[in-house]
Structure 1
Amino acid sequence: MALEETGPGALDPKWGQELYIGRDFKGAIEGFSSIEGIPKVEAVETNKYLNRRFITYDAVFDIPKDLTFLLDKFFALSSCALFEQGIDTWVTYPSLSFVGFVSCLETLINVDNKNVALER
């Protein structure tokens, strides 16, 4: 069954059609959006950020100053969890265990080398 392209009911889904498309959807992505003119996200002192109570909030988005530090610790901890899961699954699923170990190492390498410039 072909998809109607014009007239009333055009682009309405029909039983058995081969594909679904959205109105005004351009299928190809031509590039990233420009970030010029977008203000930088404000970094607030961490204690002030985490201890905001009984305050009305507006639509401002901000982050704690040590968010990078906290995320580094989170990724290191997730690496430890992957390692532990690899040990637990070694006897039953050695292939899955190996994948867990590789993911663990990739996470640790990314954390340790986050400031190293990469060739693209």
Structure 2
Amino acid sequence: MPGNTAVVFNGLLANSGGAFTFTPPSATVTINEAGAYLVNFTVHNQGNADFNLTINGAPITPAPFTGNGGGPTSAEVIVSVPTVPTTLQIVNANATPAQLHNLLNTTLTILKLA
């Protein structure tokens, strides 16, 4: 995947309720309900790579999540969403391309906590 671009997700396993919307293929999940969300992701990269979890285009942590030598790169964070709609993406944090495993095995799980 090119540098500084978001991971595109090609499928949706389940979406219950209306807390967020996602229509594959897309790199963007739109959160429709204010609240706290548990966000878990894993990106299976083939080499060194850094990824940001972004809310409305801004990284949520001061440093990216890092995987080296073939990943996977994983993270689990609780995100507070005070205003909606809010967009969420996983973005290659480098200007150089990241080599994903055939664009497969990248997962994103979002659970509304409150």
TM norm. shorter chain > 0.5: no
**TM-score under structure 2 length normalisation:** 0.18
Larger radius of gyration: 1
Which of the two has greater helix per residue?
1
TM-score by length of 1: 0.17
Which structure is higher in strand share? 2
